[in-house]
Amino acid sequence: MNAAASSSFVLKAHLLWWDDDPYFHGHATQHSVPKGAMAIGEDGRIAWVGEADALPEAFGAWPSVDRHDTLVLPGFIDAHLHFPQSGIIGAYGTDLLDWLDTYTFPEESRFGDRVHAASIAATFADALLYYGVTSACVFSTIHPAALEELAAAFDARGMGLVSGKTAMDRNAIPTLQDSAQSAYDESKALIEALEPRYERFDYAVTPRFAITSTEAQLEVCGALHAEFPQTRMQTHINESAREIQTVAQLFPNDASYLDVYDRFGLVTDRALFAHGIHTTPAEMTRMAQAGASVVHCPTSNTFLGSGLFNPGANREAGVNIGIGCDIGGGTHFSPFVTMQEAYKVARFHDQSLRAAETYYWHTLGNARVMKTHTDTGSLSAGKWADFVVLRDPINDPIAALRLERVETDEQRLFAYQFFAPRVETWTRGVQRTTPPAHRRPHLKTTPARRT
Ligand SMILES: [Zn+2]
């Protein structure tokens, strides 16, 4: 069930999207239609897209929604973030493992309270929409109620959700531990209850990471992933040096961190591994062979000092790459901030990500790693009408200086990563947010002093 129903209309705007990875397949993957039209049906899906002049007669009588002087892109997709960590962004700490113990685990243990979970889920979903994110692959907590509330919040806003109950049965505070058996039973019950209830919900088997799951629990996670072949699998890998050492101590017989997951059937083409900063060449080869994906989370990696992800090495090995904000290790919900940080991190490897590459990751690329690409990620007929309307920032003289020097779509998109545009967000053909009139504080010019 979806709260607001779409009515059919034709959006007229400058439309821009990618239908494949521009890094591998070049500029032809980018579709830019300055005088474009997109017909959106009552079912919330794109019925037709192309030049406004070529709009078929069948859509001629549909009401028109005019968004000239804007750029319309597919809604952004975030492939890795944690909804229960919304309240601990930017909490002072040291490295990953300390940060988890000090802030994350106590915060997450509150989510057994359904009222609390529902309140944070609503704030979280609204924040994503505000920044232009229309679907996401999200970590919840061990509590079934938290996932139920998250799924309801996304559905009410027409958003797509890939998520699952987190499984963790050791190395955390007692209030944040389940067991192998309860992880299996509760996950199965949630798959059977939520997937039929919500059209845009897909279950992800979710062992937090190897440190917090026993072998018995990883085994049931693998069993669930195999028993329900539609499920995704999400976890963390190779984020920090201390984490990798701990995994090696806990699993002394496995040759690598990835081997731990592989032994339990968790390395598949439906698997999303967050971070992958310190992944070895052998692990990359295995991920590529399995069709598994890594999710780059740059603001989290620099905030926690975890390391610098290498896009080129993963691409060369053939690993699919997604991108995420990893709230609350990450520091901002905005895809523009995440893309900016990805650019900076890549520079440490002497690589320069073009705007087309980062925006592709944040749209169709993420849809592909989440296996939702037949439904979202580009402005293509048949997909959900999830899109963002982007306008230049206002009341920002420095942004104006920068943007008046822009000559191409690519340059404008690149600059937006540093001077975020005002965003209007639509899901399933329904407008969900109104861009703020004043995004940035008005800067007054200091009057010249008379002497
Ligand atoms: Zn994470």
Tell how far the Cα of 81 is from the centroid of ligand 1, in angstroms: 6
Pairs from 373-379 (Cβ < 8 Å, separation ≥ 24): 375/160, 375/200, 376/74, 376/75, 376/77, 376/134, 376/135, 376/160, 377/74, 377/77, 378/17, 378/18, 378/19, 378/74, 379/15, 379/17, 379/31, 379/38, 379/46, 379/49, 379/72, 379/73, 379/74
Angle at which helix 180-197 crosses helix 144-156, to 10 degrees, equals 20
pLDDT in the model for residue 449: 59
Tell how far the Cα of 369 is from the centroid of ligand 1, in angstroms: 16
- Of 385, 394, 398, 444, the closest CA to residue 421 belongs to 394
pLDDT bin (cut points 50, 70, 90) of residue 90 is confident
Q: How far apart are CA 21 and CA 345, in angstroms?
A: 20
Tell how far the Cα of 329 is from the centroid of ligand 1, in angstroms: 7
Mean pLDDT over 233-257 rounds to 97
Tell how far the Cα of 18 is from the centroid of ligand 1, in angstroms: 27
Tell how far the Cα of 46 is from the centroid of ligand 1, in angstroms: 32
Tell how far the Cα of 142 is from the centroid of ligand 1, in angstroms: 14
pLDDT, one tens digit per residue, over 17-33 is 999 999 999 999 999 99
Tell how far the Cα of 279 is from the centroid of ligand 1, in angstroms: 16
Tell how far the Cα of 50 is from the centroid of ligand 1, in angstroms: 38
Report the share of the chain in percent with pLDDT over 70: 95
Quote the Cα angle for 92-340-412, to 5°. Answer: 150
Tell how far the Cα of 239 is from the centroid of ligand 1, in angstroms: 9
pLDDT, one tens digit per residue, over 335-373 is 999 999 999 999 999 999 999 999 999 999 999 999 999
Q: How far apart are CA 19 and CA 68, in angstroms?
A: 23
Tell how far the Cα of 243 is from the centroid of ligand 1, in angstroms: 13
pLDDT in the model for residue 439: 47
pLDDT in the model for residue 221: 98
Tell how far the Cα of 166 is from the centroid of ligand 1, in angstroms: 11
Tell how far the Cα of 228 is from the centroid of ligand 1, in angstroms: 24
Q: How far apart are CA 423 and CA 390, in angstroms?
A: 5
Tell how far the Cα of 405 is from the centroid of ligand 1, in angstroms: 37
Tell how far the Cα of 298 is from the centroid of ligand 1, in angstroms: 11
Fill in the amino acid letter for 147. Answer: L
Tell how far the Cα of 297 is from the centroid of ligand 1, in angstroms: 8
Exposure of 428 in the CB half-sphere (CA atoms within 13 A): 18
User: For 9-75+381-431, CATH number?
Assistant: 2.30.40.10
Mean pLDDT over 229-258 rounds to 97
Structure tokens at 179: 């067991």
Q: What is the DSSP letter of 421?
A: P
* Segment (H or E) for 422: strand 422-427
pLDDT in the model for residue 438: 53
Tell how far the Cα of 99 is from the centroid of ligand 1, in angstroms: 12
pLDDT bin (cut points 50, 70, 90) of residue 451 is very low
More confident residue, 335 or 443: 335
Exposure of 434 in the CB half-sphere (CA atoms within 13 A): 2
Tell how far the Cα of 349 is from the centroid of ligand 1, in angstroms: 23
pLDDT, one tens digit per residue, over 10-69 is 999 999 999 999 999 999 999 999 999 999 999 999 999 999 999 999 999 999 999 999
> Homologous superfamily of 76-369 in CATH?
Metal-dependent hydrolases (3.20.20.140)
| Dihedral over Cα of 313, 317, 322, 328: its sign | negative
Domain range summary for the chain, segments of one domain joined by +: 9-75+381-431, 76-369
Tell how far the Cα of 103 is from the centroid of ligand 1, in angstroms: 14
Region at 236 (left for phi over 0; alpha for psi -120 to 50; beta for the rest): beta
Backbone angles phi, psi at 380, to 5 degrees: -120, 145
pLDDT bin (cut points 50, 70, 90) of residue 447 is low
- Of 314, 324, 349, 323, the closest CA to residue 24 belongs to 314
Tell how far the Cα of 275 is from the centroid of ligand 1, in angstroms: 8
Tell how far the Cα of 212 is from the centroid of ligand 1, in angstroms: 13
pLDDT in the model for residue 98: 86
Tell how far the Cα of 40 is from the centroid of ligand 1, in angstroms: 35
- Over 80: is that where the pLDDT of 450 sits? no
Tell how far the Cα of 97 is from the centroid of ligand 1, in angstroms: 12
pLDDT, one tens digit per residue, over 367-400 is 999 999 999 999 999 999 999 999 999 889 999 9
Tell how far the Cα of 257 is from the centroid of ligand 1, in angstroms: 16
Tell how far the Cα of 136 is from the centroid of ligand 1, in angstroms: 13
Tell how far the Cα of 24 is from the centroid of ligand 1, in angstroms: 27
- Over 50: is that where the pLDDT of 3 sits? no
Exposure of 55 in the CB half-sphere (CA atoms within 13 A): 20
Q: How far apart are CA 137 and CA 233, in angstroms?
A: 10
pLDDT, one tens digit per residue, over 148-179 is 999 999 999 999 999 999 999 999 999 999 99
pLDDT in the model for residue 91: 85
Tell how far the Cα of 236 is from the centroid of ligand 1, in angstroms: 6
Let me know if the fold of 9-75+381-431 is the same as that of 76-369.
no
Q: What pTM was estimated for this model as a whole?
A: 0.95
pLDDT in the model for residue 198: 98
CB 298 within 8 A of CB 304: no
CB 341 within 8 A of CB 355: no
Fill in the amino acid letter for 357. Answer: E
Mean pLDDT over 423-432 rounds to 97
Tell how far the Cα of 326 is from the centroid of ligand 1, in angstroms: 5
pLDDT, one tens digit per residue, over 184-228 is 999 999 999 999 999 999 999 999 999 999 999 999 999 999 999
Mean pLDDT (the chain) is 94
DSSP output for 189-223: HHHHHHHHH-TTEEEEEEE--GGG--HHHHHHHHH
Tell how far the Cα of 80 is from the centroid of ligand 1, in angstroms: 6
CB 201 within 8 A of CB 151: yes
Residues near 229 by Cβ (< 8 Å), separated by ≥ 6?
Answer: none
Tell how far the Cα of 377 is from the centroid of ligand 1, in angstroms: 22
- Over 80: is that where the pLDDT of 441 sits? no
